[in-house]
Chains A and B, each alone.
Chain A
Amino acid sequence: MLENIPILSLLLLFPLVGALVTFFVKDQKKAKITALVFSAIPLILSLLMLTEYVQNYGPYQFEETYSWIGSLGIQYMLGVDGISVPMVFLSTLLVFLAIIFSWDIDHRTNQYMALLLVLELGVLGVFMSLDYFLFYIFWEVVLIPMYFLISVWGGPRKSYAAIKFFIYTHIASLVMLLGIFALYFEAGSYNGGNYSFSMEVINSVSPMFGATFQAIVFGALFFGFAVKMPMFPFHTWLPDAHVEAPTAGSVLLAGLLLKMGSYGIIRVAFPALPSGAQDWQWVMVVLAIASIVYGAVMCLAQKDLKKMVAYSSISHMGIVLLGFATFTEIGIAAGVFQMFSHGLITAVLFMMCGIMQHKAGTRNIPRLGGLAAKMPYAAAFMMIGFMASLGLPGMVGFVAEFSVFTATYDAFGWLLLIPVISVAITAAYYIWAMQRVLFGPVTTEIDTAHLHDVNWYEALPLAVLCGFIVLFGMFPQLIMGYITPAIEGIVTLLGVI
């Protein structure tokens, strides 16, 4: 049925058109509805894609290729495999839900909604590009809407946070661009002067690249991706950006933008530079464990609920990298699954932070208390989110983290203890934070008499996300079925099996 429809291009087209249309809708209510419709269409398309995608068949599906800048070997080339399909679904879902969640935005609404759609365009482009140049363009497109989202609708220190985010990630992506150029020229010389940015063309000759070349270029690419993920010690932009960003911005930043970094490692760095990846394996392991520990420890020190969630993101993205660095099929697949699961969970957590700020007027944990009695629904969502995040069995986070740790034990043995213990520490702190915020005596620090429970536009996205958290926790195969076959190729290339 979908054979003749360029489904991937349509996935890009609707957010783009939607952004333009929304921008010119001056009426607030209409702008929201327009944006909602234009984000619903990609969601439907991505659901169609999920059903039409043939698992276990070929590397890329729904491919589209058009020559774009022929003289430089650049093409408009899209395609998805088992790694990108879950990410595309996640992107369309989160943007759709973020737009619903932002229903109470009343300041420059049309611009806000348009920026969310531009962000969707960029993120989807990153997850679907099969050409390094195109990949880079979408990668950069993402920066601009996020910059504005933080700097216009952000908190008190928004200017500082926005420019810091912009500069950090821009420098990182330029270093990555250098790496991509190096790949382009090196691959061209192996292809007899036939220069191309196509991932397939470059990856087909990548095992022949010299060892030194691979090590250097992998370093450049890894730097670019590690800043985006972000890995310790390149993470400092993240807490600032999160604390200042509006809720929908935080949801998409943690849910999608961080995933671009880890997606880049698996889509670009590993296949293009397999031996470089092996040279850097221990650096990746050390940085991953450092991020897990550091993120967890920093969580302990936070009084601001949102900052705590931000640091937990660093910790959880460390688990993704740890999975990748095992170079085993189960480890990498679990890392990808962790990307997906963290996207769902972190969205719930940031939405809860937004609700606390909005309803209670503060996110400061010591000032909150006993809110479960006043806001039972919010409390329920918050508990599901926290439990999922700390890895309660039966929820999506558990499956992902458990598989990563299994693979880590296979690959590195008792080194596993360090991340596992630190995750246990976070779990304790999460429960303590939850206890303080939700249970115990009702706080007197804030005015609790007029505290309302969640509104419909807040409850709906949270309910959908919590539903998916449980669903994919119970049936991880629904997503793993896509991921696992796509990993085989990468693992073979790494030559570890």
Chain B
Amino acid sequence: MDYSAIYPELILALFAIAIPAIGMVVKNSKYLAAISLTGIGLSMLAVFLFFYNGTGPIEFDTGLLVLDNFSALFMMIFLCVAFVVVLASGKFIENEKHVPEYYCLVLLATVGMLLVASAQDLFVLYLGIEITSMSSYALVAFRKKDLRGSEAATKYFIFGGFSSAFTLFGISLIYGLTGVTSFTEVGAAVAGLTDMKEMLWVALVMVIVGFGFKVAMVPFHSWAPDVYDGAPTTITAMLAAGSKKMGLVAMFKFFLIALLAIKADWEIVVAVLAILTMTVGNLAALNQTSIKRMLAYSSIAQAGYILIAIAVGTEFALTGGIFHIMTHAFMKGGAFIIVATLATVAIGDRIVEYKGLAKRSAILAFAMTIMLFSLAGIPPLAGFDSKVVLFSSAIYGATDGSEWMIWLAIAGIINSAISLYYYARVVKYMYVDELEEGEKSEKLKLPTSMLAAIIICVVAVIGIGVWPEPFIEFCKDAAAAFF
């Protein structure tokens, strides 16, 4: 067995286990964050070495895990998210109890995501999802005394449990029908399946429902705004930018490898769900008064865009999907971390509290504007580039017999226009509205570590936006490795 395929997971798991032990001695949140960052950094280095050596795909125990361009790219994305989240957490949770456990769980959740990225087998995939889910349930409930947090965690746990059951049921049906668990073998077996097709459809429905909950696809999305709202904001950033994207990766593997042979049976369903998801998400975001809930609905909408990649199902579309996951990780992660940073200086999550922010902290207002405009798809920011690739793949896929795919692009574009309204509203509060007499107007003093995390996101969003070429190439390689 070639262990170099799982170095990133191993390193991270080691640190995750070590941190509670270290936590017996070191209580300071900042030091623990630094140790976690070291672990994430080393794990990133392992992924980087894979790219650097260019050895090609490395398999771990044939058919279980593989480190190739696809999984390595996603590992990098998930590790970046974890890095930014931990960097921001050092200050954010310094006065809380159970600090070591927090970092341990964040790292474990990331390990789960890495496993999903490299899984080649139905059950490894399921295992990865569960590791992440279990850690996230606890993280959402991190503030035990906080009623909203506890409610959110309960809700998340129940919905998550149900969705796992659905997924598992679907997986077992597929296993029963085909007798194999590796994605490629399942794919071949499904293609050759002659009778019992009805059972396969049942399995398909189960899988769609199960993953639908995980990625907050409409109509299985109702938990997401409550959970995003109630969780500690750094964890919300991780849920939106990391674990939800893990669900999408799992869907890529399920639909585009294992169930590719019966694409004709599900493509319309996924397409309709994609359009529903983006539309409902955007419409619901329009009149939110809490910025966390608004961003949660915006996340739902963004998942809808990414589902286009599955419905279209070409290599080009997958490139777009991967690229959008990458950019979304930075812009949505960044946006939530800005919300978290403001929470440390007693600016709550009601949008009206952002009034006159430009005067109080020019850098945060600017960063938030960049994130929001990027989410809306305004050029030349990263979100625009990835939407371009994603939507144009739908137009490109619309050939004879699949002309309907053009509607995915049209729906995406109309939705982007709708979304601009609620993003611009926040910008208006920050820049346009003036503070009145008696309102707090002193300059904000912000924690450096959180600012650093935000700056990483801003640089990434502008950098990818202005110079997307190398990133598109990475995504292309990843998509090529996937198929």
Contact = CB atoms under 8 A, between A and B. Distances in A.
B431 A175 contact: no
Interface string A180-196: 01101100000000000
Nearest to A148: B431
B472 A71 contact: yes
Contacts of A147: 424
Interface secondary structure of A, over-half rule: helix
A136 B396 CA distance: 19
B366 to A, nearest CB: 10
B469 A141 contact: no
A182 B424 contact: no
A113 to B, nearest CB: 15
A201 interface: no
B290 to A, nearest CB: 20
A177 interface: yes
A72 B420 contact: no
Contacts of B473: 71
Contacts of B468: 69
B83 interface: no
Interface string B379-407: 11000110011011001100000000000
A170 interface: yes
A140 B379 contact: yes
B424 A69 contact: no
A182 B410 CA distance: 12
A174 B416 contact: yes
Nearest to A188: B396
A159 interface: yes
Interface string A138-178: 00110110011001100000010011001100110011011
Contact of A166 (B389, B396, B420): B420
B428 A71 contact: no
Nearest to B392: A181
A144 B392 CA distance: 24
B396 A185 contact: yes
A178 B428 CA distance: 28
B51 interface: no
Contacts, number: 69
A144 B373 contact: yes
Interface secondary structure of B, over-half rule: helix
A175 B413 contact: yes
Nearest to A173: B417
A70 interface: yes
Given A166-B420, A174-B414, A148 B432 contact: yes
Given A152-B432, A174-B417, A71 B373 contact: no
Given A148-B431, A152-B432, A174-B413, A181 B420 contact: no
Given A71-B469, A72-B389, A140 B410 contact: no
B378 interface: yes
B421 interface: yes
A163 B472 contact: no
Interface in A66-105: 68-72
Given A147-B424, A166-B424, A181 B472 contact: no
Interface in B461-476: 468-469, 472-473, 476
B454 interface: no
B421 A181 contact: no
Contact of B420 (A133, A167, A182): A167
A10 interface: no
A163 B378 contact: no
Contacts of A152: 431-432
A382 B352 CA distance: 44
A137 interface: yes
Contact of A159 (B432, B469, B476): B432
A170 B428 CA distance: 17
Given A71-B476, A159-B428, A140 B378 contact: yes
Contacts of B432: 148, 151-152, 159, 162
A136 B432 CA distance: 26
Given A69-B468, A140-B384, 18 more contacts: A69-B385, A69-B469, A69-B472, A71-B476, A137-B380, A140-B379, A141-B379, A148-B432, A151-B428, A152-B431, A159-B428, A166-B424, A170-B417, A174-B414, A174-B416, A175-B413, A177-B413, A178-B395
Interface of B: 373, 378-380, 384-385, 388-389, 391-392, 395-396, 409-410, 413-414, 416-417, 420-421, 424-425, 428, 431-432, 468-469, 472-473, 476
Interface of A: 68-72, 133, 136-137, 140-141, 143-144, 147-148, 151-152, 159, 162-163, 166-167, 170-171, 174-175, 177-178, 181-182, 184-185
Complex A-B, nearest 3 residue pairs according to Cβ-Cβ distance, in ascending order: A137-B379, A171-B417, A174-B413
14 contacts: A72-B388, A136-B379, A137-B379, A137-B384, A140-B379, A143-B378, A166-B420, A174-B414, A174-B416, A174-B417, A177-B413, A181-B391, A185-B392, A185-B395
